[in-house]
Amino acid sequence: MAPSTSESLPPELLSAIFAECIAQAHDPTWSPWHEHRCDLSCIRDWSQVTLVCRYWRSVALSTPSLWCRLPGAWFYTKTMLARADTLPLSISTLPHPKYLERLSKQRRRCEVMGGLEPEEDAYIDLSNVVTMHLGRIRELVVPVTAETLPDLMSRINRGLSAEPRMLESLSLHYHDSLIRSVHGPTDAEAALPNAPQLKRLHIYNAPPLAISPSMLDGMHNLRELSLSRTMAALGDLSGHRIYLPRLARLNLEDPIDLCQHFIEALHLRDPLEYIGIEPPRWPYYESLSNGFPPLRDIFLAHHVLGQSQSNKFKNPDTPLDLSAYHTALGISTRRKVWDSGTSSTFYFGATPAPYPNAPPSDSPGTLSALRERITTSDSRCAARADLSHPGLFASAHALMPAPRLLSAVARLFPVADVVSLDISAGRHDPAPRSDGGGGSEVVSPATLRTILAATPRVRYLRTCKVRLEDIVAALHPYPRPSEPSGDSTITITSSYTALLPSLKSLALDDIDFLRFGAAEYIGVKDMRGRPLPQKGLTLLAPCLARRVACGFALEQLEIRRESHLRDEERAALEELRGVEVRVGKGPGRVRI
pLDDT, tens digit (0-9, with 9 covering 90-100), for 106-164:
666 665 555 544 444 444 455 666 667 777 888 888 777 655 666 666 666 666 555 55
Tell whether the model's pLDDT for residue 286 goes beyond 70. Answer: no
Tell whether the model's pLDDT for residue 468 goes beyond 80. Answer: yes
Tell whether the model's pLDDT for residue 224 goes beyond 70. Answer: yes
Q: How far, in Å, CA of 50 to CA of 588, rounded?
A: 26
The predicted pLDDT at position 519 comes to 34
The mean pLDDT value of the chain amounts to: 75
Name 174's bridge partners. 144
Confidence grade of residue 576 (pLDDT, cut at 50, 70, 90)? confident
Gyration radius (Cα) of the chain, Å: 27
Amino acid at 183: H
Please answer whether residues 185 and 218 qualify as being in contact, where contact means their C-beta atoms are separated by less than 8 angstroms: no
> Taking residues 281-309, what's their average pLDDT?
75
Give the three-class secondary structure for 171: strand
Tell whether the model's pLDDT for residue 29 goes beyond 60. Answer: no
The predicted pLDDT at position 38 comes to 75
The predicted pLDDT at position 475 comes to 92
Q: Over pLDDT 70: what percentage of the chain?
A: 67
| Dihedral sign for Cα atoms in the order 145, 150, 151, 154 | positive
Residues with Cβ within 8 Å of 91's Cβ and at least 6 positions away in sequence, in order, are 38, 69, 70, 130, 133, 137, 139, 140, 141
The predicted pLDDT at position 148 comes to 62
The predicted pLDDT at position 107 comes to 61
Give the three-class secondary structure for 186: coil
Q: Over pLDDT 90: what percentage of the chain?
A: 18
Confidence grade of residue 250 (pLDDT, cut at 50, 70, 90)? very high
Q: How far, in Å, CA of 388 to CA of 567, rounded?
A: 43
Task: Phi first, then psi: give them for residue 274, nearest 5 degrees.
Answer: -145, 135
Which has the higher per-residue pLDDT, 135 or 183?
Answer: 135
DSSP letters for 67-112: G-EE-S-GGGHHHHHHHTTTS-EEEE----HHHHHHHHHHHHHHHH
Query: 199 exposed, middle or buried (CB, 10 Å; 0-12, 13-18, 19+)?
Result: middle
Tell whether the model's pLDDT for residue 540 goes beyond 90. Answer: no
Confidence grade of residue 291 (pLDDT, cut at 50, 70, 90)? low
Confidence grade of residue 189 (pLDDT, cut at 50, 70, 90)? very low
**399-418 pLDDT per residue, tens:** 888 999 999 899 899 999 99
Amino acid at 3: P
**507-534 pLDDT per residue, tens:** 999 888 775 433 333 444 444 555 544 4
